[in-house]
Amino acid sequence: MIAAEHLRVRVQPGFSIGALLRGQRRTPLDILVDVSLALAPGETLAVVGESGSGKTTLGRVLNGLIRPAAGTVRVDGAALDPHASDRKLRPLRHKVAMIFQDAVGSLDPRLRVRDLVVEALRIQGVRPEPDAAANLLAQVGLPAALLERYPHELSGGQARRVTVARSLAVPPRLIICDEPTAGLDVSVQAEIVNLLTELQHRLGIAYLLITHDLPVARRLSRRLAVMYLGSIVETGPTEAVFAGPRHPYSRALFQAEPSRDPTRRPPPPLEGEVPSLQQRPPGCVFQTRCPLAQDLCRRAAPDEREIAPNHRVRCHFPLEPAP
């Protein structure tokens, strides 16, 4: 349904007067480097990784909110023009919606819920039916009594459900969910996960799930993509990747997840810090922290290769499969 091929997102950093006087040149920063993925209708793909790995940027590129410096995005086989105006990208909004990480911040504080949830219809030039807003709230389990409230009068869980309802106004085929459970109580997180699952079963929607929460990724997705420093280092069936990660970073990421077992000893943390985008390491992006790095890793960037059916890894020396 949607596919990205060799995406690169490059930005120019800010520049200070002091740097200008010292004769320093601005070096472009690569936020995404050679990112490719595909999503089938009705499928859920989870994208996980540390903060700053490029997950949100990837979601915004797929939704047309950020234009890539290189690479293509195809929706139903048609390539999106990176130079197209926002008006020309409106047909994309019929197919791809987005739930932003900050639920309250993404809602216009001047509008009531009644207007917020049907705003997309008006932008598309469609006159909402009188009961459209109430019906959208009903789909996400909210009472019609909330229609007259403003965003600041909603709880975190209610605001999240309103953003989900708004994304359904122009029925999409794909919803990009950026941290849909962030900042919510555990019980409310479970409610949001159940809501997304129920909507997918009923409407056949595909999800691109961007999350730090590994249990949520495991619960909702069938395929998993692990990102590090703007690159996808491993993709595969969710259970297969969790059971036997083949990239050293994937293994370290999963081992860092807190365990409920009090007898389990935490693994030693990765040494070093995530490199700055201004000083992206040569060769493999993970070589500065990888305990298995060799000279080849420092010299040459690894190509992505398939090591099992539908399981791909970008590593010169992938880990052995789990027994």
C-alpha 207/C-alpha 84 separation (Å) is 25
Q: How far, rounded to the nearest angstrom, does the alpha carbon of residue 219 sit from its chain's CA centroid?
A: 16
Asked if 207 and 175 touch (Cβ cutoff 8 Å), the reply is yes
Average pLDDT, the chain: 89
Q: Is pLDDT at 64 greater than 90 in this prediction?
A: no
- Over residues 2-17, the mean pLDDT reads 84
How many Cβ atoms are within 10 Å of 263's Cβ, its own excluded?
Answer: 5
Q: What is the model's pLDDT at position 13?
A: 74
210 has a pLDDT exceeding 70: yes
pLDDT above 90 coverage of the chain, percent: 64
Measure the CA–CA gap between 277 and 32, rounded to whole angstroms: 10
Who wins on pLDDT, 87 or 129? 129
- At residue 27, the pLDDT reads 76
pLDDT per residue as tens digits for the range 242-258: 999 999 999 999 988 87
Q: Which CATH superfamily is domain 2-95+172-228 in?
A: P-loop containing nucleotide triphosphate hydrolases (3.40.50.300)
Q: Which residues are paired to 30 by β-bridges?
A: 10
Q: What is the pLDDT of residues 265-290, one digit of tens each?
A: 767 777 888 888 888 899 999 999 99
φ, ψ at 252 (rounded to 5°): -65, -40
What does the pLDDT average to over 259-264? 71
**Does 233 score more than 90 pLDDT?**
yes
pLDDT for the residue numbered 19: 62
Confidence of residue 183 (pLDDT cuts 50, 70, 90): confident
Choose from 25-29, 31-35, 99-103 the range with maximum mean pLDDT.
31-35
Beta strands (DSSP E) in the chain are 2-11, 29-39, 44-48, 70-75, 78-79, 96-99, 174-178, 206-210, 223-228, 231-237, 304-308, 311-314
Q: Say what the pLDDT of residue 20 is.
A: 65
Q: How far is the C-alpha of 241 from the C-alpha of 251, rounded, in Å?
A: 9
Statement: residue 91 has pLDDT above 90:
no
Strand order in the sheet with 29-39: 29-39, 2-11, 70-75, 78-79
Q: Which two tokens stand for residue 245?
A: 């990660």
| pLDDT at residue 236, as a whole number | 96
Cβ within 8 Å of residue 198, ≥6 positions away:
none
HSE, side-chain direction, 13 A CA sphere, residue 92: 24
Q: What one-character DSSP code corresponds to residue 44?
A: E
Residue 60 DSSP class: H
The reported pLDDT for the residue numbered 184 is: 85
pLDDT for 116: 93
**Res. 166 pLDDT band, cuts 50 70 90:** very high
pTM, to two decimals: 0.90
Alpha-carbon separation of residue 120 from 91, 137, 145 (angstroms): 12, 15, 21
Q: What was the pLDDT predicted at 29?
A: 87
**Span 100-113, pLDDT tens digits:** 988 888 999 999 99
What φ, ψ does residue 176 adopt, rounded to 5°? -90, 115
Residue 253 has, within 13 A of its CA and on its CB side, a CA count of 29
- Domain locations along the chain: 2-95+172-228
CA–CA separation, 65 vs 84, rounded Å? 11
Q: What is the pLDDT of residue 15?
A: 63
Q: Is the pLDDT of residue 83 over 70?
A: yes
What residue has token string 């740097």?
19
pLDDT for position 88: 74
Residue 16 pLDDT class (50, 70, 90 cuts): low
pLDDT of residue 112: 94
Q: What's the rounded Cα separation, in Å, for the pair 294 and 287?
A: 8
Please report where in the chains the tokens 């690159």 appear, as a residue: 231
